[in-house]
Structure 1
């Protein structure tokens, strides 16, 4: 399966999930009151941690793709493990973000982590794309 078809399928699934997903509380009378800015709910914590995993994967995949020339620890790590980290952290971020988005009680801005979940799913998709491209590039150069 080529990289283009994997990315096309992943994008179609992601867009289809956004387009056809019905909010958990579509009735305006069932909407919960917005949480305080300082309240940390389970949805916010899950969305934050999944976005962090997606960011780690995207950075690892990006560093593996650009092949840093430095002799430091980060450059060595990125050459060896960046693509694998991106290919593991990306699906984790998309799965956890999708779970938070599916179980959120209200819409955006209610404090349930829905915006963070969407952002985590986007970062996970970017992470998988960068990791896949870095992995395929490393196979071609061998």
Structure 2
């Protein structure tokens, strides 16, 4: 299982790095530069994705698909990360008031909120399942 996770992280890195490099190479052309708002939103979205992955792994553990245990620790970590991501994304949307396509990162903040909510839901389902079985 760890090998699959490591492979997934490496694949994501190979997909993310060229995107950032091409955005930087574009410079100011057509508004595709990597601005502060976009970088902040991308970071939020990546942490939200990590929260969703941890929540999914803890849910699989609580169902007995991988490992032993109830998955409570992973659920708690996923829910804390989700809360942090949602708060930062909402603050981001309040600070950067530009529209879509202006480099303010509003679309990334919305993605971060969705991935954070996904991580919170998966963590909550794990906690509910662990209370019922344990």
Over the residues paired in the alignment, what is the CA RMSD in angstroms?
2.5
Match of 1:134 among 122, 126, 130: 126
Aligned mates of 2:101, 2:44 — CA distance in 1: 18
Task: Show the counterpart of 1:86.
Answer: 78
Instruction: Report the alpha carbon displacement of residue 50 of structure 1 after superposing the two structures with TM.
Output: 1.0
Using structure 2 for the length normalisation, give the TM-score: 0.68
Question: Does 2:117 correspond to 1:120?
Answer: no
How many residue pairs match? The answer is 105
Instruction: Report the alpha carbon displacement of residue 40 of structure 1 after superposing the two structures with TM.
Output: 2.1
Which ranges in structure 2 are unaligned for 5 or more consecutive residues?
A: 1-27
Question: Does 2:10 correspond to 1:42?
Answer: no
Question: Does 2:60 correspond to 1:66?
Answer: yes
Deviations 1:99-120 (A, max 9, x none): 1111123101111111000110
Aligned mates of 1:55, 1:130 — CA distance in 2: 12
Which ranges in structure 1 are unaligned for 5 or more consecutive residues?
A: 1-32
Instruction: Report the alpha carbon displacement of residue 85 of structure 1 after superposing the two structures with TM.
Output: 1.6
Q: Is the 8 A contact 2:72 2:127 kept in 1?
A: no
Instruction: Report the alpha carbon displacement of residue 130 of structure 1 after superposing the two structures with TM.
Output: 0.8
Using structure 1 for the length normalisation, give the TM-score: 0.64
Structure 1 residues 35 and 121, CA gap change in structure 2 (3 angstroms): farther
Runs (4+) of structure 1 exceeding 6 A deviation are none
Q: Is the 8 A contact 1:34 1:111 kept in 2?
A: no
Task: Show the counterpart of 2:46.
Answer: 52
Instruction: Report the alpha carbon displacement of residue 78 of structure 1 after superposing the two structures with TM.
Output: 9.1
